[in-house]
Structure formats: C-alpha cells, structure tokens
Amino acid sequence: MKNITLSLDDETYRQARIRAAEQNTSVSALVKQLLTANTKGVSTEAPLAALLELAAELRALTVGRTHTPAEVLQREGRDER
C-alpha cells in the first residue's frame, strides 16, 4: 500500500475531519473512497456532491482571508519539490 501526502490549510482539514466524523469514518477513508470510485469508473456523484458542498462552505468561511507568511513560503516552495 502506498501513502500520499496532501497539504491542507487548518480550516479545510478541520472541516474534513468534521465531515468524516459525521460519516463515522476517517479523512483518509473519505479520500480513498473518492479516489477508488473515480479510478474504477464508479459514479462518484454522491461523494462528489458532498465534497463540492464542503468546498463551498470552506470558500464562504475563508473569503477575504490572507495567507500567513508560512503559507506564502510553502506556496513559493512547492514548485521546487
């Protein structure tokens, strides 16, 4: 089994954990479910709808938010990886 690393801001991660708890699962399991369904050609409409809803909520929560200096450095350094 391979591992991947995702970079999320704190609020996105918090919301993902809340969503996972509501579904009695983990964030990792949610991501795995989305990726597995997508790669097997299974309809991802239900999980995708939930993800899009979460994304809309996060956009509303973070509107007007500026990046911290650490986030700016992370963004600038990501192309070097």
What pLDDT does 66 receive? Answer: 77
pLDDT at 28 over 60: yes
The first and second tokens of residue 79, run together, are: 């192309």
Q: Tell how far CA 3 is from the center of its chain.
A: 16
Q: What percent of the chain has a predicted confidence (pLDDT) above 70?
A: 79
Q: Which residue has the higher pLDDT, 21 or 39?
A: 21
Q: CB count, 10 Å around CB of 3?
A: 5
- ∠71-32-60 over CA atoms, to 5°? 45
Length of the chain: 81
CA distance 55 to 40: 24
- pLDDT tens-digit readout, 34-72: 777 666 655 555 666 777 777 777 777 777 777 777 877
Q: Which residue has the higher pLDDT, 81 or 19?
A: 19
pLDDT at 18 over 80: yes
Domains in the chain: boundaries = 10-80
